[in-house]
Each structure stands twice: as structure tokens, then as C-alpha cells.
Amino acid sequence: MATGIQQPEVATGQPEAKSLRWLARAFHTFAHDPRLWFGVILLAFVIAAIFAPFISPYPPLLYHPAIAEQGPTLAHPLGTDDLGRDQLSRVIYGTRISLTVGLASILVGGLLGTVLGILGAYFQGWIDQIIVMVIDALLSFPSLILALAIVAALGPSIINVLIALAIVRIPIYARLARGQTLQAANQDYVTAAVVSGTHAYKIMFRHILPNIFAPLLVQATISISLAILDESTLSFLGLGVQPPTPDWGSMISEAQVYLTSDPWMLLGPTLAIVLVVLSLNILGDALRDYLDPRSKDSGRVESS
Amino acid sequence: MIRYILRRILFMFPVALLVSFLTFMMIHLVPGDPARVLLGEYATPQTVAALDRQLGLDKPLPVQFVLWLWQALHGNLGESIQLQQPVVQAIGQRLPVTVELGLCALLYSLIPAIPLGIYSATHQRSLGDWLVNVFSLISTAIPVFILGLALIFFFAVSIRLFPPGGYVPFTQDPLANVRDLILPMVTLGTGVVAVNMRQIRANMIESMGQDYIRTARAKGLSERRVAYIHALRNAFLPVLTLIGLQIGSILAGAFIVETIFLWPGIGQLTIMSILSKDYPVVQGVVLLAAFSYMAANLLVDICYAFLDPRIRYER
């Protein structure tokens, strides 16, 4: 009965009222959890990355020696670098590399790790033992040093940085997925699937995977920020993106030389890295609270 | 206890072997012939073959690995191509610098973290707690190299309080050594302070909710005594594990800090060797890093088992 009375109200509601209600609800959600504002910041960076050619005021490689090493001006809000290139445009283009490498390395590493973890936990026996040993071996290297070693061997380039950062993330996801699968394997729905003769791969990836997905997703937001930090670090050391491609890490590496004469060169890439990483960390915390309220206020597992 | 330690060490052997194998395989990841890459495109086939022989690359892979491992066990990690000296010697000369930096940063990362973590756990949702949390969020978002450059800019370029870089051995001039140490130590340790603080806060909050805390309060103990004596002791155990994990990030961070502050440690050596394709040195450093990381975590596990008897009887 109550729904019968409510119904016409919704049906007769004007499109404007509907959008207003949507806005009000969004406002309420944002007021309730201010951390979501960092999602807006992140979204701005994603948009900047996608539409870089339309947003950036100048071409990122356009050099102009006459205006080199300038502080912020109206024409160049973040100043210019040692070759007179517009720092804002370079920061905007740099977003592309940071976000792509961050996302792609987690996708590849996370996928491989998750599959390995589920396989090990599901089949047990020697497969599991080998997988656990590989995880332990990979975890025996401090992650950035492992990434350094891989890039050192493969040679400095953006693709090799991506490969290195993906490999470095495998053990964390494998360990997490393995632990979660071990727990899930004792659940009734898995037993039911086994008894009804469902194929092992179907049980693993159609039954178990969706049930262990939440902790993996939380881990992913945290690892993306770590991957972005690692990428900028490798590029800063001259092992990642090669000049003249605009990248936050290598921009800071170039600015290092001009620290005394033109410290403004540091401003743009520094702000970009800190804002993106901060937003990802805060959103990761928020996501964890939504998906797994039990773990509220507990510390982060992964350290770089 | 001894049985537990022995079992842990025994368990480490296959992993250590795999770690050595992965490190060994590094040189085989190099696209093309490593000797040719090292010597450049104008090298004659004879010199390439000679370097192949020197690096042991002319033998079958398993034989190469066994030989390499055998030599490594005898403290021979090969010759540095760039420095014309044994890798072990090159690393050994620079190791004290990195160890000094790493240990001081580790210590620095714990000293402010303990009181701040306790404060923020016992004063939840206060202004102080909020400030501590904001600091921790921001400092984990600042990469080591940016913090280093910012500190150099503010404390070495603007107000000239500390030197912008350089290193004087402690034995040569203790005062200058400490002066050179401050900025690199703060750069390396600040991110870790935040992680430690978060962990101590979370553990304190958890242990403050336990039964023995209620008992302690019921006995009429002061809130301060309850927090600092009863809760802290139990909250500190997980921090030990965290220290084990952080030795890895401190070691990796030291590599970057050394490059920025021009400290002649193994980090600077590694970056230099990577850029000049001096693979034996990179292999040596990676192996050393992995093994010291493993050893540190073994030590942490042993301490943990010593402090918490339940762990000894598990498995």
C-alpha cells in the first residue's frame, strides 16, 4: 500500500527534480565522507591524462630558450623548465605515463599473482609448494631493488619499467589470493560445487574469485599508488622514461640541477605526484572501510 | 626454541637457492649477448669471446649457475668491469656508509613514532589525533627523492644549516659526519615514521579493547599506566614484524638518498653500475640486499618467537 502511494510521486516527478535529488544525495554522501573529494581530484587527473592534447596550453616538447627557467607567470602557471618548455603542459602529459604504468602494472601483476595464488591454494600439493617458494623468493628482494635489477638487465625504457613493476607486485597478490582461497575452499558453496561435479577451473574463477575479490580490490588501490611512486623513482634515477618524453620523475630529475637557480621547476611534478598518491591512498582507505568494515583503523599491510 | 630456529633456517635453504638462481639469471635477461652489450658495437669477436669466458657465459646454463654459486659461497662475486676490482671489495668498501645511514634512519623512524602513535590511540578523534593522521597520510605520499630535494632546498640552499650533500667518515671527523647525516636520515626515515605510527596506533586501539585492559582498569590503575605498561607491551609485538618489512624499504630508499646526497655507499655504486652496465656489481648488490633482507626477517621472527611463546608451538 505504502509503495502504491509513493509510486505516482516518482512517476510524475520532473526531470529537474530527479537530477536535483541525485545532486542532493551526492552532496549528502560527500558531506558524510569528505574523503570522497579526493576521488574528484583523481578524476581530474584521469581526465587530464585522456584529454591531454586539448587541455594543455602548449605542446609539451615546444621549447623556447628565451623564456627558460621562469617562475610561475600568467602565461605559464607552473613556470618553464631549463629549455623554456611549459611545465604545466609537461605535467599534464606526464599524467598519462604515471597513470598508465600504475594501472597496467597492477593489472598484469595482480592478475598473474591472483591466478597463481588461487591455483596453489586450490590444488595444494607440489603445485602449491612451488608457488609458495616462488612467492617467498620474490618477497626476499626489497621490491624497489628487484625492480631496479630487472630494469638494469632489460635496459631503461617505459615498457621495461612496466614489466619490472608488474613482476614486483606478483607475490603480494599471490599471497593474498592464496590465503583468501584457502579460507573460501572450506565454505559450503565450494563443497556444493565440487559435489555437483563442477569443473575445477569454473569453481576457482567463477565461484571463488568473486568471493575473494573485495580484499584484492582494496590492495589494488594501495598498490597503484606504490607503482606510481616506484615509476617516478625509477624515472628520477634515469632508468625509466627517457627524455624528452614528459614524465614526473624525470622532470624532477631535470629540476634537481637547477635547485639553487630555479627551484620553481620542482613545483609542478611534485604537486602532481603527491596529489595523485595521496588521493589514491585516501580512497583506498575509504574503499576498505566500505568493503570490509571490520578492518577499520587497522594499519596497512604492504610497504614499499 | 632452538628447534624452532633450526627449522626456520632449514626452511630458508630452498628459498635462498631460488633467490640466488633469480639473481644469477639477471645477466641472462640482458637482450642479446651481454659481453657484446658491455663492449659496445665495435668489439672484435675475439674480445667478445674473451669476456664471455671471463664472465663464464661460454658454458651451459646449469654449469654456469653451479660455478657461479660455488664462487659466491667462497666470497667471490666476480670482477667489476668498470672499477677493475673484485665486486666483493667494491661493495665492502662502501657498505659501512649504507649501514650507518640505514641504521640511523631505522632508529629515527621509531623514536617519534612510539609516543605519537600512543597519543593518537589514547586521544582518538581529538585535534592531535587528526594532526597526526594528516601528517602520516601526507608523508606516505611524498616520495623519498622529492622529500630529499625539498629538505636540501630549505635547509641547505635557503638557510644553509646543513650541507647539501657529501660524506665524511665518522672516524675522520665525528662532528662533520653527524652534520652530514641529519638530512639524509630524515629523508629516509620520515615516510617510515608514518607507517610505524599508524601501526602502533592501530595495535594500541586493538589492545585497549582487550579483557586484560578492563581488568587493569578495574584494579584502579591510572589510565596512563594502563596505556603505557599494559597496552603498549602487547601493541609493540606487531611493530617488530613491521621493522622486518621496513628494512627492505629502508635499504631501497638508501639507494635513492645516497644518489641525491652524494653518499659513497652501495646505493650510489649500484645506480652507477646500472647506468654503466656493470652487471657483476649489480648482481652482487642485489644478492647482498636479498640475503640481508632475509636475515633481518629471520632475526625478527626469532625475536617474535622469543617474546610470544605461542608462535614457537605453531605448525
Closest approach of A296 to chain B, Cα-based (Å): 9
Nearest to B248 among A143, A236, A255 (CB): A143
Q: What share of chain A is helix, strand, coil (3-state, %, to 5)?
A: 75, 0, 25
Q: What is the pLDDT of residue B186?
A: 92
User: pLDDT higher for A26 or B94?
Assistant: B94
Q: Which of A42, A76, A41, A46 is nearest to A58 (CA)?
A: A76
Residue A107 has pLDDT above 90, yes or no: yes
* Residue A37 contacts residue A30 (beta carbons within 8 Å): yes
Q: Is B57 on the interface with A (CB under 8 A)?
A: no
CB contact under 8 A, A303 and B146: no
Q: What is the pLDDT of residue A123?
A: 87
* Residue B159 contacts residue B104 (beta carbons within 8 Å): no
The residues, ordered by sequence, that sit 6+ positions from A277 with a Cβ below 8 Å of its Cβ are: A225, A228, A229, B140, B141, B143
Residue in B286, B288, B294, B300 to test binding to A, most A beta-carbons within 10 Å: B286
pLDDT in tens, chain B (315 residues): 788 888 888 888 888 999 999 888 887 777 767 777 777 777 788 888 887 777 777 777 888 888 888 888 888 888 887 788 888 888 998 999 999 999 999 999 888 888 888 888 888 888 888 888 888 888 888 999 999 999 998 988 888 888 887 788 888 888 888 888 889 999 999 888 888 888 888 888 888 778 888 888 888 888 788 777 777 777 777 777 778 778 888 888 999 999 999 999 999 899 888 888 888 888 899 999 999 888 888 888 888 777 777 766 654
∠ at Cα A210 (A205, A212), nearest 5°? Answer: 100
Over range A120-135, report the average pLDDT: 89
Residue in B33, B38, B138, B146 to test binding to A, most A beta-carbons within 10 Å: B146
Q: Which of B42, B1, B31, B27 is nearest to B81 (CA)?
A: B27
* Residue B2 contacts residue B313 (beta carbons within 8 Å): no
Q: What is the pLDDT of residues B29-41, one digit of tens each?
A: 777 677 777 777 7
Question: In whole angstroms, what is the distance from residue A83 CA to residue A65 CA?
Answer: 5
Q: Is B135 on the interface with A (CB under 8 A)?
A: no
Question: In whole angstroms, what is the distance from residue B239 CA to residue B189 CA?
Answer: 15
Q: What is the pLDDT of residue A8?
A: 45
pLDDT grade, residue A16 (50/70/90)? low
Q: Which of B136, B111, B250, B247 is nearest to B184 (CA)?
A: B250
Question: In whole angstroms, what is the distance from residue B296 CA to residue B299 CA?
Answer: 5
How many A/B residue pairs have CB atoms within 8 Å?
A: 152
Q: What is the pLDDT of residues B129-187, one digit of tens each?
A: 888 888 888 888 899 999 999 999 898 888 888 888 778 888 888 888 888 888 999 99
Residues of B in contact with A249 (CB under 8 A): 145
Answer left, alpha or beta for residue A156, where phi above 0 means left and psi between -120 and 50 means alpha.
Answer: beta
Closest approach of B216 to chain A, Cα-based (Å): 24
- Using CB atoms and an 8 Å cut-off, which of residues 5-64 of chain A contact chain B? none
Question: In whole angstroms, what is the distance from residue A8 CA to residue A297 CA?
Answer: 44
First-to-last alpha carbon distance for chain A, in angstroms, is 57
Question: In whole angstroms, what is the distance from residue A30 CA to residue A27 CA?
Answer: 5
* Residue B37 contacts residue B45 (beta carbons within 8 Å): no
Q: What is the pLDDT of residues A41-88, one digit of tens each?
A: 999 999 988 988 888 887 887 777 777 777 788 777 888 777 778 888
Question: In whole angstroms, what is the distance from residue A79 CA to residue B17 CA?
Answer: 52
Return the SS3 of A80: strand
Nearest to A152 among B282, B289, B291 (CB): B282
- Using CB atoms and an 8 Å cut-off, which of residues 77-106 of chain B contact chain A? none
Nearest to A133 among B15, B195, B290 (CB): B15
Q: Which of B54, B52, B56 is nearest to B35 (CA)?
A: B52
Q: Is A281 on the interface with B (CB under 8 A)?
A: yes
Q: What is the pLDDT of residues B282-301, one digit of tens each?
A: 889 999 999 988 888 888 88
Q: What is the pLDDT of residue A3?
A: 43
ipTM rounded to 2 decimals: 0.85
Q: What is the pLDDT of residue A295?
A: 53
Q: Which of A280, A214, A291 is nearest to A43 (CA)?
A: A280
The residues, ordered by sequence, that sit 6+ positions from B300 with a Cβ below 8 Å of its Cβ are: B240, B241, B243, B244
Residue A13 has pLDDT above 50, yes or no: no
H helices, E strands: number in chain B: 16, 0
* Residue B23 contacts residue B78 (beta carbons within 8 Å): no
pTM of structure: 0.85
Residue A256 has pLDDT above 70, yes or no: yes
| Maximum average pLDDT range among A2-6, A293-297, B220-224 | B220-224
CB contact under 8 A, A136 and B15: yes
Nine-digit cell at A164? 619490472
* Residue A248 contacts residue A94 (beta carbons within 8 Å): yes
Q: Is B15 on the interface with A (CB under 8 A)?
A: yes
* Residue A119 contacts residue A127 (beta carbons within 8 Å): yes
> Could you give the C-alpha distances from B174 to B94, B102, B180, in angstroms and in order?
18, 17, 10
Q: Is A260 on the interface with B (CB under 8 A)?
A: yes
Q: Which of A292, A247, A230 is nearest to A61 (CA)?
A: A247
Q: Is A256 on the interface with B (CB under 8 A)?
A: yes
